[in-house]
Structure 1
Amino acid sequence: MSDWVITSKGFIPIPYLITEPALGGIGGALVPVFIKPNSPYLDSIDGKLVKSRAKPNFLAVGAGYTANGTWFVGGGTAGTIKKWRANYRLFGGYADVNMNFYRTFQNGTEGSFEFNIKTVPIYGQFTKQIGLSAWSLGLDYLFLNTTLANSNPLFNTPKEVNSIVSKLGLVFDYDKRDNVFTPDKGFRWKTSFAGSDDIIGSDYDFTTLTTSAFYYVPVSKQLTAGFRAEYQQIWGSPPFYMKPFISMRGIPVMRYQGSNTVLSETEWRWDFSYRHSLVGFGGAAKAIADGDSFQDSSWRVSGGAGYRYLLARKLKLRAGIDIARGPEDWAYYIVFGANWVK
């Protein structure tokens, strides 16, 4: 697989199984992924020639359909412009999504509301390496043209039926991982501070802060530990589908939303043979609603185990399956590369 991708300009034809509980628990997508590795940067530091990693280039297109009638088409690219020491991402598509959202009322009861959301998302990011350091600085931009095919006055506002989100942000990124697919060691910290305003064509005024940290450490030759911490906060008046939510295996997407979220998770991988590995993971998170304190909010705990296969050894790309248990139910996930992708 490595030689096919690297030397033959091939692609990895991923017949992807969609297992997200919020989208019906089962579905499929076909996503051919083209990967072009970049040679490392060569720098002279104190008279010595030093190599540093340059992220590979990706190109992917695909379409998918799930058991609850959700479908999507889209594509994107990401990679490195070596002469600028810069990285970029650009994605776009169309999605017709059926999903439940939840709200707790003043009497303490919780209501579930099903929505059909039709949206055209476009996302772009450009970051520039600062000198020869592991730091990068840049901008990102999100555009969403969204329509609710059904609405509920107990949950959404009239403006949310048909609206545009336009959000521009500042991105700080520190990345010392040894590879972008399945890291064995290294640290990454990424922070984005963004705003949505009518000045840039948005129907909403709100500000977001997202900061994530990932740390990988080899405990032994066969055992690798990973740690993740994340914080999100939103100010202003966003549409309900833009509020922060807990993103962990075992918990459906958008199940727990709030004005801010905190999360910590760990994953341990045991390479019991050259190509075969077992993983175990677990974590806890809070979604803090408007008006609630940190102490008033409940911890949501999930965990599970999985299997990995070294699909392309020259790319250090592992793929496999995870089974997880959240607060309400079991779920399973097909994993391509690192589960913690940001």
Structure 2
Amino acid sequence: MKSIYFFILFSAGTFLMQGQQKISFKDSLDHKLDLSDWVISAKGFIPVPILITEPALGGGGGLMAAVFIKPNTPYLDSIDGKLVKTRVKPNIYGGAGGYTANGTWLVGGFTTGAIKKWRANYRVATGLANVNLNFYRDFPTIGECSFEFNMKTIPFSAYLIKQINRSSWYAGLDYLFLKTELKNTNIDFNTPKEVNSIISRLGLLVDYDKRDNIFTPNKGFLFNSLIGASEDFLGSDYNYVLINSAAFAYLPISNKITSGFRVEYQQIFGDAPFYMLPYVNMRGVPVMRYQGDIVALAETEWRWDFTGRYSLVAFGGLSTAVSKQSNFQDSSWKAAGGMGARYLIARKLKLRMGIDIARGPEEWAYYIVFGTSWTR
């Protein structure tokens, strides 16, 4: 689901729907290309083309989603005698199908949004996927080896989090179900139990969001933390506990320069299949390339808005993946970074789009970016 929300908003501006009033694609202030009015006024079915640029999936591919968007009016609260408006997530419903250069394919459906009378946010997603991925393991005598797996999987994920009082804090439950069948098995890597298995994980999710906007933040703070347990009594074949926490801070340095900082920490305890181990998720590093029982990373991004519409971005970070057989002192830190460009495609939403080029420890990669690259 990562970045789909931003692609939905952008792609809305490229398709006409019957029965709508004529809407300008130029901003009223500078008369430049701008999709704010179209996105805000969009109703009904929206076809969404999405480029898949993930190196681990072959570096190329595409996904088409069919999406419906229903905006929500803001919450109105009286605080200290003043009427305060609080942003409410739009309700989004859709389905998608995609194919990548290495033969991976997927189909799925999702819904996300808010239940206003509960003052709660939710997300539900499910699908069917046939994924081709390489996984890596170090051996004492021969060093690191790569193993290619074909994974047929049926995922289902959902969460429901409720606003605490009238604050920016939300808390609730998160659930993950994953039925996975492996092909191209290897006795040196996977266990017989991992060939055909079920994950059923229930967790507590806490979220705090004080960013000025959810698309391309200029200031504010986001914290998200999940503690989840996969257990026999939930129908799982594995017993383990996962801690997954992240914090993002956005600080304006001047009218034209915005700095961003990201830290993440993941740790897993107990018996988990290799494909559920935490991994480094950072631009320039292929998915699942570096896994461990503990993963930690720190990244910074700096954006220079040298005109009202155009920006340059520079980013870089360090990450490490620590296995059971090692510790932080013995593990190596991997560096990745790069540069990119942005265009303010929807001024009223503060939504920027663009492209990033990044280099990790082994290879170059490129990423189509809508909004922020840091999502939870």
For residue 25 of structure 1, give the secondary structure of its aligned residue in structure 2. coil
> Which one-letter code corresponds to 1:177 in the other structure?
R
1:40 and 1:54 in contact (8 A); partners too: yes
Match of 1:69 among 78, 100, 103: 103
| Residue 81 (structure 2) aligns with | 47
| Residue 123 (structure 1) aligns with | 157
Residue 315, structure 1, aligned to residue 349, structure 2: yes
C-alpha distance in structure 1 between counterparts of 2:231 and 2:150, whole Å:
25
| Residue 103 (structure 1) aligns with | 137
| Residue 320 (structure 2) aligns with | 286
| Residue 239 (structure 2) aligns with | 205
Residue 340, structure 1, aligned to residue 366, structure 2: no
C-alpha distance in structure 2 between counterparts of 1:203 and 1:277, whole Å:
48
CA change 1:301–1:185 in 2 (3 A) is same
C-alpha distance in structure 1 between counterparts of 2:215 and 2:226, whole Å:
22
Alignment of 1:11-30 (within 5 A): 13-30=47-64
> Which one-letter code corresponds to 2:289 in the other structure?
R
> Which one-letter code corresponds to 2:226 in the other structure?
S
Q: More strand per residue: 1 or 2?
A: 1
C-alpha distance in structure 2 between counterparts of 1:254 and 1:184, whole Å:
30
Match of 1:9 among 40, 43, 54: 43
Match of 1:144 among 157, 160, 178: 178
C-alpha distance in structure 2 between counterparts of 1:120 and 1:173, whole Å:
27
1:5 and 1:12 in contact (8 A); partners too: no
> Which one-letter code corresponds to 2:285 in the other structure?
I
For residue 187 of structure 1, give the secondary structure of its aligned residue in structure 2. strand
Identical aligned pairs, as a percentage?
Answer: 63
C-alpha distance in structure 2 between counterparts of 1:82 and 1:238, whole Å:
37
The Cα of 1:108 is off from its aligned counterpart by 6.0
C-alpha distance in structure 2 between counterparts of 1:220 and 1:35, whole Å:
35
Runs of 4+ with deviation above 6 angstroms: none
The Cα of 1:234 is off from its aligned counterpart by 0.2
TM-score by length of 1: 0.96
- Greater CA deviation, 5-14 or 83-92? 5-14
Listed one character per residue, the Cα deviations across residues 110-149 of structure 1 (whole Å, up to 9, x for unaligned) are 0100000000111101000000111111000001110012
1:16 and 1:334 in contact (8 A); partners too: no
C-alpha distance in structure 1 between counterparts of 2:183 and 2:374, whole Å:
32
- Greater CA deviation, 273-282 or 32-41? 32-41
Residue 84, structure 1, aligned to residue 104, structure 2: no
> Which one-letter code corresponds to 1:225 in the other structure?
S
CA change 1:273–1:32 in 2 (3 A) is farther
| Residue 31 (structure 1) aligns with | 65
C-alpha distance in structure 1 between counterparts of 2:211 and 2:44, whole Å:
25
- Greater CA deviation, 118-127 or 330-339? 330-339
C-alpha distance in structure 1 between counterparts of 2:73 and 2:238, whole Å:
43
CA change 1:139–1:267 in 2 (3 A) is same
For residue 253 of structure 1, give the secondary structure of its aligned residue in structure 2. coil
Match of 1:260 among 291, 294, 305: 294
Q: Report the RMSD for the aligned CA atoms in angstroms.
A: 1.4
For residue 43 of structure 2, give the secondary structure of its aligned residue in structure 1. coil
C-alpha distance in structure 2 between counterparts of 1:43 and 1:108, whole Å:
64
The Cα of 1:18 is off from its aligned counterpart by 1.0
- Greater CA deviation, 28-37 or 133-142? 28-37
C-alpha distance in structure 2 between counterparts of 1:108 and 1:185, whole Å:
48
Match of 1:248 among 258, 263, 282: 282
- Greater CA deviation, 235-244 or 107-116? 107-116
1:123 and 1:143 in contact (8 A); partners too: yes
Listed one character per residue, the Cα deviations across residues 62-82 of structure 1 (whole Å, up to 9, x for unaligned) are 211111101111121111112
1:4 and 1:10 in contact (8 A); partners too: no
TM-score by length of 2: 0.88
For residue 281 of structure 2, give the secondary structure of its aligned residue in structure 1. coil
C-alpha distance in structure 2 between counterparts of 1:278 and 1:36, whole Å:
33
> Which one-letter code corresponds to 2:341 in the other structure?
Y
Unmatched runs of 5 consecutive residues or more in structure 1: none
